A and B are shown apart, each in its own frame.
Chain A
């Protein structure tokens, strides 16, 4: 059976929301909200009411990065300061905690921010070629609802989208 991708463009978020809600309530057997990708010009956190909660894991990486900065920062500084034989400390502590606290604090933030950034790149599904059905209208003022479905689901989906006043429906064959 042929497999298709289909994207409906809506001029109104509420209509897209209703269309997804109908899919969620098993309007078309065999299609669930897990198959749906929403594309929008702004963030619509309220879509999780119908798409279901989709977790974000970036904060775990952030915590890891910050802890790494804390631990690495301290040991980096301490190991440098431990070369006290070539750098006489004049009676002061070899590893001074108050000044190291300042530097470790900065390194905690440094690694926390960078790891957050890299985890964002990694977890957001960036660096991919735009989907063949991608429409520039999605970055302008329309909402896209994208699904990949079997051929027999196409007609009911189109009817559902038209019922919810889809402005445009795009489709393409993924594989024969």
Chain B
């Protein structure tokens, strides 16, 4: 089969068409979009019902007891925090290294970051039971005279996640300002008022662009170490303890790699959905999908390597409890989860190595879902086996999630989905000005190449060339 070298984007696409296509997407999605919204609402209803039941009847209905004090809720919390790393990867890291293929897809990845953090934040609150006391973790002067224990990684979590949430929201907002001005210029009624307020009076002056670029770059520089620190701190929730299976030196990089991995997989999922909902075939091209898949494959291999490092360090270490736990993971009651994790996380990504599969949207959609199933299993395998089989044999107890927990976890996907779907309907999910920049620079590159070719031809031929076409807006 021949190898297809398709362009990331058609550089001849007119700027007016970019505006028109993206603005149209906000007004006129396919019916599948509305079906998805309805499904998300139904999922949220499940979670709310389960939470009300748990709240009134007690945390026992979530199978939470000694030694299983966290389990499903913290596994889901870690999963959603991990998902949030997608935006940082696509927006900040690829922005800094000038990978311009990210431009049509980074906006929704940034939105994913914000919404997955907002979803993750629910789980510590739900798990508390006495959720009205959540604010005790915040450091403020109170009449109790007590401060949170600053040595606890749970307090570090509160600092790190609130910083990450506010920084990623600002990053998302700042990156949208020029597009909000485009929306303002094309909207009517209440939407015009909304976009006028949000675009902050942006008119595209050279002063605004200079400051905008600098701000965006500085924020990206802050966001990368922040994202790494957030998931390192989340890993400290486990690694700072002395529990077998948790007291692992490689946990911070392992968590960060897992986070980037699940974030990339989620980008593929939403890439396929948005491409279909909003008819974005010209912007979310197969060439960009290929690059995203290659990136995901590379991260999958890093994650696999770190898994092997963890297994090897336990196997060749002298901690008998950790070694017993490792064996129990592979052959014990959680073995099917463990091997499913290995299959989904380390074997299935090899489908991303084949170009014909990478270019097949339905296949990539299904694969990306299974990659994230694998990553959910990974979080479950971090939490549950250790709690089931810690130092004291009299506390050994196998635990599976209750229907209440599953309903709340299920609903969290609905909550995330609803936030995301509302966002892509109200705000441009493809960055118009960045796509224009991408098209402009690529067109210029093509014109320069053609000019160079003509120049060389002229050197051997006395004929003169014709006028070059204009570059702006095509």
Contact = CB atoms under 8 A, between A and B. Distances in A.
A41 B215 contact: no
A121 B200 contact: yes
Interface stretch (B158-166, B308-316, B377-385): B158-166
B202 A40 contact: no
Contact of A140 (B15, B171, B203): B15
Given A12-B472, A103-B150, A125-B205, A56 B156 contact: no
Contacts of B333: none
Contacts of A138: 203-204
Given A42-B433, A58-B215, A140-B15, A125 B156 contact: no
A109 B470 contact: no
Interface stretch (B32-40, B53-61, B221-229, B347-355): B221-229
Interface string B198-213: 0011111111111111
B144 to A, nearest CB: 9
B353 to A, nearest CB: 36
A81 to B, nearest CB: 6
Interface residues of A, number: 66
Contact of B204 (A80, A103, A105, A139): A139
Classify chain B's interface size: 35 or more
A42 B440 contact: yes
B362 interface: no
Nearest to A51: B206
A96 B152 CA distance: 11
Interface in B401-449: 433, 436-437, 440
A66 B211 CA distance: 18
Contacts of A77: 139, 150
A114 B19 CA distance: 30
A120 B472 contact: no
Nearest to B20: A140
Interface in A92-122: 92, 96, 99-100, 102-103, 105-107, 109-110, 112-114, 116-117, 119-121
Given A113-B171, A139-B178, A141-B472, 14 more contacts: A12-B471, A13-B472, A37-B206, A39-B204, A40-B204, A80-B147, A86-B146, A96-B150, A103-B150, A113-B219, A120-B174, A125-B207, A126-B208, A141-B473
